[in-house]
Amino acid sequence: MGSIGTPPRAENGSANPNPATAACDGDRKPQSVDGYHASSNERTLESDVSKKRKSSILPLEVGTRVMCRWRDSKYHPVKVIERRRTHCGGPNDYEYYVHYTEFNRRLDEWVKLDQLDLDSVEAVVDEKVEDKVTSLKMTRHQKRKIDETHVEGHEELDAASLREHEEFTKVKNIATIELGRYEIETWYFSPFPPEYNDSLKLYFCEFCLNFMKRKEQLQRHMRKCDLKHPPGDEIYRSGTLSMFEEKHSEESYNLACILTLPPYQRKGYGKFLIAFSYELSKKEGKVGTPERPLSDLGLLSYRGYWTRVLLDILKKHKGNISIKELSDMTAIKAEDILTTLQSLELIQYRKGQHVICADPKVLDRHLKAAGRGGLDVDVSKLIWTPYKDQG
């Protein structure tokens, strides 16, 4: 059994000298103990410098760029959009509303100071200068895409009004809503009446969609609410799935808005709604198109539907087929067919007309990328009489 008090051996086999002796022993270098003290002092100094730097930059200014720990436990670059004091009120007692520069605005959120890596803080940059430098690096196509993204849905606003709108809506006013047994995170600002400004959470009736500030209010409301299905006429029922409608559009849109609430997403309902709207158009004997402008996710969903339907026909069809013929077969508007095929690089313009180039391998590749369709529409269970103009 070895002795606990046995001193460790040096590399040459002799016993290690006393650390204090080694420190005074001519040219002999200090051993590990003194070396440890030196690096510890350095670390202490670095820590003090870091603390002073961090305290000098707090609270963070709006516009600051920093790394932030997201829900995936990884750090991502963010920009501080707004800040607010917490109840304690000290210099570090702020929450920050941040935009994750890698992600869509819908993921903007309030974060606490401990989620931010203060060693990564960048000084606030003059946004006009930053925009000018960025625009020099961007291609004309990239800049046009960004401009379209900023303006989409607000084409009626001039530049000053658009800036005012963006400033007013930059911070989410409601963090979560409760709907039935689900609590749902919000994506964007919503123009609720002023009396709801201090409500981080709202409670919704899952039948009539009235909203309240407190759970007790919702419970009282639910005892009186007698609405148990959506407004309108039931025109489709298949198993547990029903569809209700009051359909008339001056602009001939076949679908005004798609909304699938988060608890029911990724189950094929959104794709079902799109497919169902085109079945209505077919029954009307008209072509259809969704109401514009489309959101980013809306365009993605429609582009997927158009791709699957059109390429499935092109795979089976022998010989040439025109865009007009595709439109008649699918009830998809000719402009939507054209833009879809152009985005897939399946169409060329030759001798004054569009020509569809349908290589089977290319079609298979695009179909695979478009993913699966949603729930099937059983047309035999559609009970609906198309709307007819009174005139």
Token pair 């429609």 in the structure block, residue? 302
* Diameter of the chain measured on Cα atoms: 111
Instruction: Supply 173's token pair.
Output: 């006013």
User: Rounded to whole angstroms, how far apart are CA atoms 203 and 183?
Assistant: 9
**251 an active-site residue?**
no
Give the HSE-up count for residue 294: Cα atoms under 13 Å, Cβ half-sphere: 14
Per the rule left: phi > 0, alpha: psi between -120 and 50, beta: everything else, 310 is alpha
- Nearest by Cα to 343 from 295, 298, 311: 311
> Cα separations (Å) of 355 from 13, 228, 345, 349?
86, 51, 11, 6
User: Rounded to whole angstroms, how far apart are CA atoms 206 and 110?
Assistant: 27
Give the HSE-up count for residue 259: Cα atoms under 13 Å, Cβ half-sphere: 3
User: Rounded to whole angstroms, how far apart are CA atoms 149 and 153?
Assistant: 9
- Burial (Cβ within 10 Å: 0-12, 13-18, ≥19) of residue 45: exposed
Calculate ∠ Cα 165-170-174, nearest 5°. Answer: 115
Task: Say what the alpha-carbon torsion angle 255, 257, 263, 267 is, to the nearest 10 degrees.
Answer: 30
Query: DSSP state, 294?
Result: P
Instruction: Supply 390's token pair.
Output: 């009174």
CA–centroid distance for 387 within its chain: 37
Q: Residue 177 pairs with which residues in a beta bridge?
A: 184, 202
User: Rounded to whole angstroms, how far apart are CA atoms 257 and 196?
Assistant: 25
Please tell me which residue in 250, 251, 291, 325 is annotated as part of the active site: 291
Catalytic residues, by residue number, are 291
